[in-house]
Structure 1
Amino acid sequence: GSGGVGKSALTLQFMYDEFVEDYEPTKADSYRKKVVLDGEDVQIDILDTAGQEDYAAIRDNYFRSGEGFLLVFSITEHES
């Protein structure tokens, strides 16, 4: 999604159970969390990418190797 739609806010909520209201642009941050999924312990690696097109190469690299993706966009900003 575009910058400012809430990708980092959702990631920080999931990782640390905290909600960030202030917008700070992200380049790319990575996180790792162990969770139980279908009764099994699994490790989730999260790449929180920038919405700017300047960082498309970073996203593309993870698209090739990732097993799942969450797309975040603004319902009030159609371009996102």
Structure 2
Amino acid sequence: MKKVIVLALIVVFAFATVAMAGYDDKCAKCHNGKTSPDKAKMLEKFKTADDFVKAAQASKSPMMKSFLDKGDELKAAAGEIGLK
């Protein structure tokens, strides 16, 4: 019975993390203008969502390493900051 409960909790937490995959939840913590460029600077720098995704995936920053293969999340973040 304990195994079933633990498995159920793991599934719940896994879906909860997927639901929090936006700019405000993941990106804004570092992209605050101090650690990394903020939303306004990124809007100045990137003209399209595709430019944004390509630049994020080409980043050499160790902080971006976990996002390099998450094009869908990066595209969603681009949409949240106002890029099309």
Output the TM-score relative to the length of structure 1. 0.25
Q: Which has the larger radius of gyration?
A: 2
Higher helix share: 2
Higher strand share: 1
Higher relative contact order (CA 8 A, sep 6+): 1
